[in-house]
Amino acid sequence: MINFTKMHGLGNDFVVIDAIGQDINLTAEQVHFIADRHFGVGCDQLLLVERPVRENADFKYRIFNADGGEVAQCGNGARCFARFVREKKLTAKDEVTVDTNAGQLLLRFIDGGLITVNMGVPKHAPEQIPLLMKDEAVQYSLEYDGGIVSFSALSMGNPHAVIQVEDVVSAPLETVGPWLEKHPVFSERVNVGFMQVVNRQRIKLRVYERGAAETLACGSGACAAVVAGIEQGLLDSNVSVGLPGGDLLIEWAGRGQPVFMSGPAVSVYEGQIRI
């Protein structure tokens, strides 16, 4: 039996497992089973809490999409990870450093029960995203269904494409989302955000996540959208991001600086599952 905690960050839901106090070695098929909403527990991603790799870290943070594939970054999951290790008394620190497959994250508890995550410095070079384009650009274009789709692209530890739209409700998420997610120019696939600029301090966003389709919230996607908007001169440095599941606050001071994301994390219930 595996002990787990069901958590969510703005409706982006997770199964979180302590792999320090339990012997955990899940296959992709087992992750997919746990994430199945009909036959398993059900979640957008499964998170593992492991012992750190580096001496200056407190934990290792691993993320698996619902399809069983391991990914390097998940912002909403990072906040839930922080809440989990505090609630399980795995740490008493107000700031927690975690190793990820994309580097290190700093998680900090702030007033009102919110958690701020230092998401690191965004990467724009095509080879760092990775994006199979020769030169870096603020916007890229691809042909689609007789027209042109323009998008920004960057990495927040995972690849993101951001498309500006007039209205997120009517955005072509169900068609353009999966098409761009699996387009050959993104060799590791891509998360696709549809961003509506409300004003210089506010955007609305929907995200088609690779391996998970649309979720109620995507923390790294919110970061990517704000970075893209600032790069285009559309947004200020502090932006409220309205997602289907609620709001996140994103701060970015510009090139070479880390992105800070603040928002809630909630524990829903604890359980056991037999694999």
Residue 238 maps to which CATH number?
A: 3.10.310.10
Catalytic residues: 74, 218
Predicted local distance difference test score (pLDDT) of residue 160: 98
Compute the C-alpha angle 137/140/146, nearest 5°: 160
Question: Residue 232 annotated as binding?
Answer: no
Backbone angles phi, psi at 40, to 5 degrees: -115, -145
94 and 136 fall within a common domain: no
Spell out the residues 6+ positions from residue 112 whose beta carbon is closer than 8 angstroms to its own. none
Element of type H or E holding 220: helix 219-231
151 and 242 fall within a common domain: yes
> Mean pLDDT score of the chain, rounded to an integer?
96
Structural domain tally of the chain? 2
Question: Residue 220 annotated as binding?
Answer: yes
18 and 36 fall within a common domain: yes
Question: Residue 118 annotated as binding?
Answer: no
Residue 242 belongs to a domain: yes
In terms of residue numbers, what domain contains 203?
126-257
pLDDT tens per residue across span 177-214: 999 999 999 999 999 999 999 999 999 999 999 988 89
pLDDT-above-90 percentage for the chain: 94
Which tokens in the block code for residue 93? 């620190």
Compute the C-alpha angle 77/257/194, nearest 5°: 55
Residue 169 belongs to a domain: yes
The answer on pLDDT for 46 being more than 90 is yes
155 and 226 fall within a common domain: yes
Question: Residue 3 annotated as binding?
Answer: no
20 and 103 fall within a common domain: yes
Point out which residues pair with 196 in neighbouring strands: 204
